[in-house]
A and B are shown apart, each in its own frame.
Chain A
């Protein structure tokens, strides 16, 4: 036991002391936050940054005169001449597209040097359809007041029926949290699993292995390495979280300060001219959204989710890194790992690909349930499902399978490992590996 601790200590310290670890620890949160900031910035400024289109309109039907509303992105200008003249001159006059609406309304065209993007043509289509629909409904004798009432959008609040009554299902937040957890597990199994494998190969290639296993059992060495690297992973996580939170808090306070000062300015401007009520209402709208998201986050059982995350992270990591260790022991250098890597990583990639499209939309389908039971796929599949609520028996069963799977794979991996680390120059095939499992001590 002392010796395992010693091995864990070496594996941990030798990695944490590396320059690359320290660089990664600081770089990742900075990159992560700047990426989020960049996305936020681009979304906020999309009207300025996106393409702007000037469109000349030839309306032979006469239905759209003065009804097409220009937006910051699309500017409509009614053509002075007919279709034929406009067609030959619109490019020269600096328009991007020519919108031609024939009298019959069939065969509306958007002409341009370049093909219009689906977003642009979609927007124009929607606008034309809306105008036509209102006109037709008005022609049919429907009151415009009724019409504007009928066009009010509806939003759905998903509610979850539990033993404690009805509560918000906060499904978008659930999706986000589940996906984030699954993504972290997916990435970490790869990063730290490969680190374990590299460590094993390093010991084998540098030939220190024989010295070490004349002092400790191969199993102790394997376990020490897996735990040591796992702790490096946890340390890195913890540091990432702390640094990210610290960074975003500093940036956040700075942002709020500037926003507040901007708002007070706005308000003081408003007070001079317009009635203040409109300004307040406009300002309150985004805050309400933020509040509802915050409320949703508060509705997620934090301890439960973190507990599940840690369980699936740790056991998933143990399970996969044991296999990675066995692979490392079976080869003489890293290039030879290819043939074994695919079958190992396939279940992970498969589940992760399914997670994004299928599981997240169908958390209770039988495929999702099965994937969250199989130990090789459950760390990802279950983490996606957990924020949506998983019956206790399913969670229990999945955890039980996870533990059994972990024990079994570790046992199997250690059988391969103990033989593999002493084999040199022999190309290991699957048949060979099966033989190694059968070897006696």
Chain B
């Protein structure tokens, strides 16, 4: 869908993007991650053709990015806004027509979305009369109304209460199911695990990691498990094939976080434990994206 190749973007005093290459597959949800100032917004602006790179290229379905692609992209910027004094329905139609829809088509689709999100009664309201959450919903409609092939969402859930965040999340997933590719820029790592197929992590203007979320999490597994068993605490001696990181006595059972020692396997752990305790659960703890993010960004920034 989108191939970003060796993009360099230089501003007067700093380099916002340094030789960044990313592949985004069609029909997937792609997470663009990174701390503040890593270059995410610069990259998104380049894909939106708001700015142009100093060198490198972006391909849209194999063609070099150009003005005709603008109408096939829907962009929800992190800093959102609409004309405050303009009526909301009129405004959505205006933005849809700027994306190339005819007036009648824009009207039809706007009605459809307003009904779907149950906001018909706002049609003649001015933006300044709406709450922030309501404005966000309207803005979401403006982003998706022209049925873009590529949706670029910069922190789409900020400003929503949990109920509305869920509604929007489901709308995004539905659009994705219908074939839209989604680029999703966020700091909220739990939503990344939930939504994204692949990610790229930017830090200090460079891409420091990319790949499928599953693969990344697997590659960062550290042999950490959670064990739960019934009864009283058992004594674990030095011959055990694992090290205890943390243990706790809970209501009627024990919970232990352990790390398997090098050279041993899960079976060795079970083998050691079976005669000693009545096991309820032994489960691998995959590192969260949050852990990986902190680890990757933290190390990179400490090296500097």
Contact = CB atoms under 8 A, between A and B. Distances in A.
Given A215-B99, A435-B12, A440-B52, A210 B79 contact: yes
Interface stretch (A67-75, A200-208, A237-245, A352-360): A200-208
A441 B11 CA distance: 11
Interface stretch (B81-89, B112-120, B233-241, B253-261): B81-89
A207 B79 contact: yes
Interface in A204-245: 205-216
Contact of B54 (A7, A206, A440): A440
A131 B79 CA distance: 84
B49 to A, nearest CB: 8
Contacts of A424: 79
B82 A213 contact: no
Given A6-B97, A435-B12, A211 B81 contact: yes
Interface residues of B, number: 29
Contacts of A3: 98
Interface of B: 12, 45, 48-52, 54, 70-71, 73, 75, 77, 79-86, 94-95, 97-99, 139, 142-143
B85 A211 contact: no
A10 interface: yes
Contacts of B83: 14, 202-203, 206, 208
B80 A207 contact: yes
Main secondary structure, interface of A, reads helix
**Most B CB atoms within 10 A — which of A7, A205, A214, A440?**
A214
Contacts of A6: 94, 97-98
Interface string A413-441: 00000000010100000000001000011
**Most A CB atoms within 10 A — which of B45, B50, B52, B54?**
B50
Interface residues of A, number: 24
Given A206-B82, A208-B81, A215 B50 contact: no
B50 A213 contact: yes
Contacts of B139: 211
Contact of A422 (B49, B50, B54, B86): B50
B232 to A, nearest CB: 60
20 contacts: A6-B94, A6-B97, A14-B83, A205-B81, A206-B84, A207-B79, A207-B80, A208-B81, A210-B79, A211-B80, A211-B95, A214-B70, A214-B75, A214-B77, A215-B70, A216-B98, A422-B45, A422-B50, A440-B52, A440-B54
Nearest to A208: B81
A214 B51 CA distance: 10
Contacts of A208: 81-83
Contacts of A207: 77, 79-81
Contact of B77 (A203, A210, A215, A441): A210
Nearest to A199: B83
A213 B70 CA distance: 10
A10 B54 CA distance: 34
Among all A-B residue pairs, the 9 with the closest Cβ atoms: A207-B81, A215-B98, A206-B81, A441-B52, A210-B77, A214-B48, A214-B75, A208-B81, A207-B79
Contacts of A209: 81
Nearest to A14: B86
Nearest to A206: B81
Interface string A312-327: 0000000000000000
Given A208-B83, A210-B77, 10 more contacts: A202-B84, A206-B84, A207-B80, A211-B81, A212-B98, A214-B50, A214-B75, A215-B70, A215-B95, A424-B79
Given A213-B50, A435-B12, A10 B82 contact: no
